Amino acid sequence: MDRLGAFSSTPSAQLSRHQQLRVQCVQGRPLAAASLRRVVRPAALPCPRAAAAAALHRRPAVPGRKAYVQPLRAVAMSGAQDSLTSADSQAQPLEIEIDNEAEREFTLIRVEGRGQGDALLAALSSGLQQFGVNVNSAAQQSEDGMVLNVFKVTTTDGKKVPKERWDGLRDLVQNMASTTKVSNQPAIYGQLAAADVMRLKGQVQPGLTTGDAVALELAAAEMAQAAAVFVALEKEMDKLRAKGADGGVIALKDTARQEAAAVLERKMAAMEACLAARRVIAVPEQPKTAAEMMAEQMKAAVTAPPSVTSTGPAAGNGYEILLQAFNWESHKRNWYKDCIPKVADWAKQGFTAIWLPPPSDSVSPQGYLPRDLYQLDSCYGSEAELRELIQVCHQHNIKVIADIVVNHRCATYQGEGGKWNKFGGRLAWDNTAICNNNPAWSGRGAHKTGDDYPAAPNIDHTQERIQNDIIEWLRFLKNSIGFDGWRYDFVRGYGGQFVKIYTDATVPEMAFGEYWDTCEYTDGVLNYNQDAHRQRTVNWVDATGGTNAAFDFTTKGILQEALGRNELWRLVDAQGRPPGFVGMWPSRAITFIDNHDTGSTLNHWPFPNNHLQEGYAYILTHPGTPCVFYDHLYAEGGLRECILDLLAVRKRHNLDVRAKVQVRKAAGDVYAATINDAIAVKIGRGDWSPNSARIEAPGGKQWVRACNGKDWACWEVGTNRKKLSTGASNTASAASTTQHQHSHSLQDATSSAASALTTNSKGLVITAQQLSPSSPEVTSAPTKPVNAMAAVLTVDEEVFKSAARVTSAFLLLLAGCLVWQGVTRTSHMIAAVKRKERYERAKDVSLLPIDRTVFVAGCFHPTAAAAAAAAAAAAQAVKRKERYERAKDVSLLPIDRTVGNLLEWMPVFFGFFWTSMILTGGATVTAGWVYVAFRALYPFVAVNKGVTTAGAKPLILIATVPAYGALFALASPVIRAVFF
CA distance 181 to 198: 18
Burial of 656 per CB tally in 10 Å (0-12, 13-18, 19+): buried
Residue 446: other Cβ atoms inside 10 A: 15
Region class of 472: left (phi > 0), else alpha (psi between -120 and 50), else beta: alpha
Give the DSSP H or E segment for 527.
none
Grouping H, G, I as helix, E, B as strand and the rest as coil, residue 294 is: helix
Grouping H, G, I as helix, E, B as strand and the rest as coil, residue 919 is: helix
Grouping H, G, I as helix, E, B as strand and the rest as coil, residue 209 is: coil
Gap between the terminal Cα atoms of the chain? 58
CA distance 495 to 515: 11
Using N-to-C axis directions, what is the helix angle for 925-941 and 862-920, rounded to 10°?
Answer: 170
Grouping H, G, I as helix, E, B as strand and the rest as coil, residue 460 is: coil
* DSSP letter for each residue of 650-667: HHHTT--TT--EEEEEE-
Burial of 477 per CB tally in 10 Å (0-12, 13-18, 19+): buried
Residue 807 exposure: Cα atoms within 13 Å on the Cβ side: 15
What is the Cα 674 distance to its own chain's centre?
15
**Core vs surface per residue 346-376: b (16+ CB within 10 A) or e:** bbebbbbbbbbbbbbbbbebbbbbbbbbebb
For position 190, what pLDDT does the model report?
A: 40
Q: Which of 489, 561, 645, 796 is catalytic?
A: 489
Residue 150: CB partners within 8 Å, gap ≥ 6? 4, 5, 23, 25, 108, 109, 110, 138, 139, 140, 141
Using N-to-C axis directions, what is the helix angle for 166-177 and 117-130, rounded to 10°?
Answer: 140
Give the DSSP H or E segment for 201.
helix 191-203
For position 761, what pLDDT does the model report?
A: 33
CB 803 within 8 A of CB 917: yes
CA distance 428 to 372: 9
* Among candidate residues 472, 654, 670, the one with its CA nearest the CA of residue 567: 670
User: What are residue 492's DSSP bridge partners?
Assistant: none
Mean per-residue pLDDT of the chain: 74
Give the DSSP H or E segment for 214.
helix 212-243
* Among candidate residues 197, 254, 194, 179, the one with its CA nearest the CA of residue 229: 194
Q: Residue type at 324?
A: Q
Q: What is the mean pLDDT of each run of 10 residues along the chain (980 residues)?
A: 32 32 33 32 34 34 32 30 33 76 88 64 68 79 74 87 86 64 31 47 46 61 72 77 75 73 70 62 50 55 42 85 97 96 97 98 96 97 97 97 97 90 94 90 93 94 97 97 97 96 96 95 88 95 95 97 93 93 95 95 93 97 97 94 96 94 92 95 94 87 92 84 32 38 38 33 31 30 37 55 85 84 76 69 61 56 64 67 56 74 83 84 84 84 70 75 87 81
**Core vs surface per residue 185-198: b (16+ CB within 10 A) or e:** ebebbbbbbbbbbb
Report the number of secondary-structure helices (H) and strands (E) in the chain: 24, 25
Identify whether 489 is a catalytic site residue: yes
Residue 319 DSSP class:
-
CB 389 within 8 A of CB 441: no
Q: Hey, what long-range contacts does 856-860 have (CB within 8 A, 24 or more apart)? A: none
For position 453, what pLDDT does the model report?
A: 93
Residue 792: other Cβ atoms inside 10 A: 15
CA distance 779 to 781: 7
- Give how far Cα 233 sits from Cα of 120, 252, 264, 548, 797, Å: 21, 11, 12, 49, 55
Burial of 388 per CB tally in 10 Å (0-12, 13-18, 19+): middle
Q: Which of 361, 514, 631, 677 is catalytic?
A: 514
Q: What are phi and psi of 658, to 5 degrees?
A: -110, 25
CB 137 within 8 A of CB 79: yes
pTM (whole model) above 0.75: no
CB 154 within 8 A of CB 80: yes
CA distance 346 to 619: 18
Residue 906: other Cβ atoms inside 10 A: 14
Burial of 954 per CB tally in 10 Å (0-12, 13-18, 19+): exposed
CB 104 within 8 A of CB 119: no
Number of residues that this document lists for the chain? 980
CB 681 within 8 A of CB 668: no
Using N-to-C axis directions, what is the helix angle for 191-203 and 212-243, rounded to 10°?
Answer: 150
CA distance 427 to 361: 13
CA distance 8 to 585: 65
For position 571, what pLDDT does the model report?
A: 95
The sign of the torsion formed by the CA atoms of 808, 814, 820, 825 equals negative
